[in-house]
Structure 1
Amino acid sequence: MVLVLVVGSVATSATQKSYDGYQVLRLPTGSQLPHIQKKLNGLIFDQWNHDVERYLDIALPPTEISKFKSLGLKSRVMHHNLGDSIKAEQKTKRVWKRDIADLSWFDSYHAYDAHIQYFKDLNIVFPNNSEVFSSGTSYEGRDISGLHFWGSEGPGKPSILYHAGVHAREWITTPVVEYIAQKLITGYKDGDLLIQTLLDRYDFYFIPFVNPDGFVYTQTTERLWRKNRQPGPKNSTCYGRDINRNWEFGWDANKGGASTNPCSYDYKGEAPSDAPETQGLDSLVRKLKANSGIELFVDWHSYGQYILSPYGYNETLYAPELAKWTRAASYISREIRDSSTAGATYTFGPCGATLYRTTGSATDHIYAIGGADFSYTIELGDTGHYGFVLPPDQIRRVVEEQWAGQKLLFSLLDQAFFEMSDGLGSDVLST
C-alpha cells in the first residue's frame, strides 16, 4: 500500500550546537589507563565509551586539540571533523514516499515526526493485527507511543517488548526496531510460517522513542545529548535524567553504576522512577506481566557491539537464567557474524561482568520486576570507527544483521529448539 507524502530530511536549527573542528579519538588503555587518565586531567573533552579498560573514545573541541597532541599519547582518529560527519549524517539521500515495502527508508536518518508517521503507516497496512498504543508522556508532553502486533487469534499472548531511542544520541536504534516491525508485517502477509507462528504465539510491543524529548533535542540543538530534558533538582542549572539509570530495581544498589551529579550524562535522578518516561514505561511493564507475561525484552543502544544480560547493578551476582541467556546470545552473535557483510562480531555476557556496572537499568528491572524470561541490552554497531555518529550508509547493514539475530532468537524462544544440540544456528530456521 503506497501512501504518497514527501518526507523531508532531518530538522536542523540555527541555534544548533556546532561540532565544527571537533575531533573524536580512540586511545588504547589497558594497564596504562591510570597514566592516561592522569595525563588527560585538566583537558576539556567528552568521553563517549564505557569500556575504558580497553580504550577511551574522546571528543575534543578545537581549542583542546593542540594541548592533546602535546601529551604524546597514542591515539587513532575516529572523526577528523565531527561537524562534517554530523552534516553528512543529516542529509536524506532520496525522497521516501511512505511505501513500507520501499527499503530506501533505511538509507537515511529522519526527523522525529517522520519516524512517528512511519509507525502509523505500519499500523495502516496491518490494520487487523496492530494498534498504536501509548505508554505515557514525556516531560515536555510528547506521547511515548508505540505499535502493538498480534496474530490471527487476536491479542493477549505473552509479550515481546522492544525499547529504542532511550539515549537520545543513539540514532541507529530506532531504524532497527522499525526494520524488525516491517519484516514481521511483510513476512506475515507473505505467508512466512515462522513469522505467522510467532505472531500467533506472542504479542509484540515496539516503542521507537523511549526518550522523544531528548531525540528532538539532538536534532534541533545538541546532536550528542543523551538524557531526557527534565530539569535537575532545586538549585541545579543542569538538565536531564538518564532514563536507563532511573528504573526502580537496583537503583541504589551499588555505588559506581550511575551518577548522583545532575550535570553528569548518567545522572540517576533524585529517586527511582522520578522521570515521567520511566513511570509510564514501568506501568506498561507491570501491565504486561499481569496479563500474559513478558517472554522477551530488548533494550537497544549503541555503540560497541554487545549482547548483555542481567545483572548490570552487580558484577559478581549471576541470575539463575544466565546459562540460558548466554547460550542464546552466543547463537545470536554467531548468526549476526555469519549474516553480516562486514563480519560484525558481538561480545556477550552479563552486563556488570562483561562491560560495566549499571544501576537502575531497564534490563535488570524488566527481568527482576517484570518477570521477562529473556532480557537483553543490545549495543549496536559499530565498535569504534564512528561511534554515535554512524554514517547513513551503515544503517542498512546494521538493521539487516539485527533482523538475522532476532529471527534466530525467535526460534530459540521455543524450548524444543533450545534443547537441541550445540550445532544450533541458521539451520534452525529451515526446521
Structure 2
Amino acid sequence: MVWCKGIVLVFGILAFFCGSILAVLGPGDKYNGYQVWRVVPTNVDQIRSLIKLEHNFDGFDLVDFWREATPSSLHRPVDIMVPPSLRNNLRDILTSLSLDIEINIPDVGALVTGQMSEIQTRRANEPVGTAALSDFDYTRYHTYDEIQQWVSDIVTEYSDITSHFLLTTSYEGRPINGFRIRGRNSVASDPPPPAVWFEGGIHAREWISPATVMWFTAQLLQDYEDGDELAMSMFDNMDWYIVPSLNPDGYTYTWTNDRLWRKTRSDNLDSTGSGCRGADPNRNFPFGWAGNGTSPFPCSNIYHGKSALSEPEVDGVVEYLRNLKANNQNFLIFLDWHSYGQYFLSPWSYSAYAPNPPDYDAMMAMGKAASDAIAAVHGTVFQSGSSIELLNEAAGSSKDWGYVPYDETSKFRGGLGAKYSYTVELRDKGTYGFLLPEDQIQPVGEEMYAGVRAIGDYILRELGFIP
C-alpha cells in the first residue's frame, strides 16, 4: 500500500486521492508511456513553484524529479519523469508558470525495454562472468554477483598489492566487498599512509557508476604493473580503498524488477506502516540527517530513513572508516561516484544557505584539474562547485560526512575529515539520464581514468611526492 497523505498541487489546479494514485501504479512495465521532461526556470517565482510542486508529490512513487529544483536552480535544468496519467495536467501547470517543456526521453518504458532486451540477448549468447579476469568485459554492465567476482579476481590477480575487505552485509544479506591497494614499494609506517576512499553504486539505478569504478581501477592497476611512473607513485605513497558497488540489494532489484529503483531495500513496515521499501542511502549519513533535501515519507526517493545510519550499507561505511581513523589512518580524499549531470560536487549539500567550507578553494582547484584532464580525452565538460551551487540540497549526504572533522566519541557526530570530498556526477547531461547505454561505458571509463590520474597527480604534488 502506498503511503498516503493529502495532496493539492500548486494553484489548486490538480488534486489527487490515494485511490487514483494506486490505480496508476502497475506491477510490471511500470514506465511504459512515462516521459522525462526538462524545464529551465528563469525567475525566482518559477523556482519556488517547482519546489512546491515537488513537495506536493513527495511521498508518492509517481512523479520523479530526476534533477530537482532548488533555490540555486536559476537557469539550470530541472528534469521530471512524468507518468502518462498526469501528462496533460502537469503540462497545464508548467505552462501556467511560463515554463517551456523539452522532452528528453519520449518513452522511458520503451528505452528500458530496449536496453534490457539487448543486454539479455547478449548475455544469453555471450556468457559473462567467467573465472578468468582477462575475460571480464569492461564495456558491459554486470550483475552484482559478477561485480563481486571481479573484486575477488582482482585481489587474486594482484595479490601482492591488493587486500580484500568485507565492508559489511546488506539488509538482504549480500556481502559488500572491497579492496585496498597498497603498492609493493610502500614503506611500512605508523601511522599508515594517507588514504583515498572511492565508492560506487550508492544509488541503485546509476549503473554507470560501478562500471566506471571498475574500468579506471583495472587500468591503473595495469599501469602499476607496467611501471607507469604516476601510477606507481599513487599506489606506493597512498592507500586506495575501492568499493565498486555499495547498494547491492537495490542494484539487484534494478536487474530483476525495477530498472529505475534508487534506494536500498530495507523494510519500513515496523515504524511507518508503509508498504514502500528502502531509504536513500545518500541521505542516511549522520551529518545533517533529516535536514533539507530529504523526505520523511518512505515512498519518497529521498526518504532519509528511520534514523541516521538506519541502513546497514551506510552504517558499514561509517564503521569501517571510523575504525581506520581510530588506527591513525588519515583520509585525504573521499569520492562517491554517481550519475548524471557531469559535475565535481564538493560540500556543502545540507543547506542552500551554508557558507563555503574552509577548503572550498582547494577542492575547486582539484576539481578543475580533474575536469581539465577529462575534457582532454573526449571533450566532455564537467563543472566544479558545491552541491548547493550546481545541483541540489541533500542533507545526510556522503560527501558532507566525508568532509566534516572526525569525532572519536560517537559515529553519530562528525565525519571522516577528508580535505577533498566530492560527489562526481558522471555522464550525461540528460539525453539518457540514469539510463546511459552500454556503448558509453568505454568513453566514460577513459575520461574518468584521466580524471583519477589528475587527482592522483594533484594530491601527490601537495604531499611533496612529486616536485
Paired residues of 2:202 and 2:281 also in contact (CA < 8 A): yes
Paired residues of 2:263 and 2:301 also in contact (CA < 8 A): yes
CA distance in 2, matches of 1:110, 1:349: 31
What residue ranges of structure 2 are gaps of 5+ in the alignment? 1-26, 405-414
**Structure 1 residues 38 and 308: CA distance shift in structure 2, 3 A:** closer
Query: Does residue 1:298 correspond to 2:335, yes or no?
Result: yes
Amino acid at match of 1:237: G
Alpha-carbon offset, residue 417 of structure 1: 8.2
CA distance in 1, matches of 2:332, 2:53: 47
Query: Does residue 1:47 correspond to 2:47, yes or no?
Result: no
Amino acid at match of 1:379: E
SS at match of 1:388: helix
Other-structure match for 1:61: 83
Write the mapping of 1:302-317 to structure 2, written as runs, cut at 5 A: 302-315=339-352, 316-317=354-355
Alpha-carbon offset, residue 161 of structure 1: 0.8
CA distance in 1, matches of 2:135, 2:102: 38
Other-structure match for 2:18: none
Among candidates 107, 111, 116, match of residue 139 of structure 2: 107
CA distance in 1, matches of 2:161, 2:419: 24
Query: Does residue 1:395 correspond to 2:441, yes or no?
Result: yes
SS at match of 2:279: coil
Other-structure match for 2:170: 138
| Cα RMSD for the two superposed structures | 2.7
Paired residues of 1:30 and 1:55 also in contact (CA < 8 A): no
Other-structure match for 2:107: 81
Amino acid at match of 2:274: S
CA distance in 2, matches of 1:74, 1:262: 32
SS at match of 2:196: strand
CA distance in 1, matches of 2:49, 2:194: 51
Deviations 1:193-248 (A, max 9, x none): 11111111111111112111111111111111111111222422221111111111
Paired residues of 1:50 and 1:356 also in contact (CA < 8 A): yes
Query: Does residue 1:334 correspond to 2:372, yes or no?
Result: yes
**Structure 1 residues 313 and 66: CA distance shift in structure 2, 3 A:** closer
Query: Does residue 1:218 correspond to 2:218, yes or no?
Result: no
CA distance in 1, matches of 2:131, 2:215: 14
- What is the TM-score normalised by the length of structure 2? 0.79
SS at match of 2:193: coil
CA distance in 1, matches of 2:173, 2:213: 23
Deviations 1:18-67 (A, max 9, x none): 32222222122222345667889789532211255223212222333454
Other-structure match for 1:405: 451
CA distance in 1, matches of 2:279, 2:51: 26
**Structure 1 residues 355 and 79: CA distance shift in structure 2, 3 A:** closer
State the identity as a percent: 34
**Structure 1 residues 211 and 35: CA distance shift in structure 2, 3 A:** closer
Paired residues of 1:247 and 1:272 also in contact (CA < 8 A): yes
Other-structure match for 1:29: 41
What residue ranges of structure 1 are gaps of 5+ in the alignment? 1-14, 420-427
Paired residues of 1:106 and 1:175 also in contact (CA < 8 A): yes
Paired residues of 2:199 and 2:337 also in contact (CA < 8 A): yes
Alpha-carbon offset, residue 324 of structure 1: 0.8
Write the mapping of 1:200-219 to structure 2, written as runs, cut at 5 A: 200-219=236-255
Structure 1 stretch 353-362 or stretch 317-326: which is displaced more?
353-362
CA distance in 2, matches of 1:18, 1:382: 23
Paired residues of 1:89 and 1:109 also in contact (CA < 8 A): no
Q: How many residues align?
A: 403
Deviations 1:306-347 (A, max 9, x none): 11112222332222111111111112112211222xx22111
Amino acid at match of 1:309: S
**Structure 1 residues 51 and 125: CA distance shift in structure 2, 3 A:** farther
Paired residues of 2:249 and 2:264 also in contact (CA < 8 A): yes
SS at match of 1:119: helix
Amino acid at match of 2:284: N
Write the mapping of 1:126-205 to structure 2, written as runs, cut at 5 A: 126-153=158-185, 156-205=192-241
Other-structure match for 2:381: 345
Amino acid at match of 1:113: D
Structure 1 stretch 123-132 or stretch 209-218: which is displaced more?
123-132
- What is the TM-score normalised by the length of structure 1? 0.86
Structure 1 stretch 50-59 or stretch 355-364: which is displaced more?
50-59
Among candidates 218, 230, 238, match of residue 266 of structure 2: 230
Deviations 1:101-158 (A, max 9, x none): 567x232212221121122221221122112211111111111111221111467422
**Structure 1 residues 127 and 361: CA distance shift in structure 2, 3 A:** same
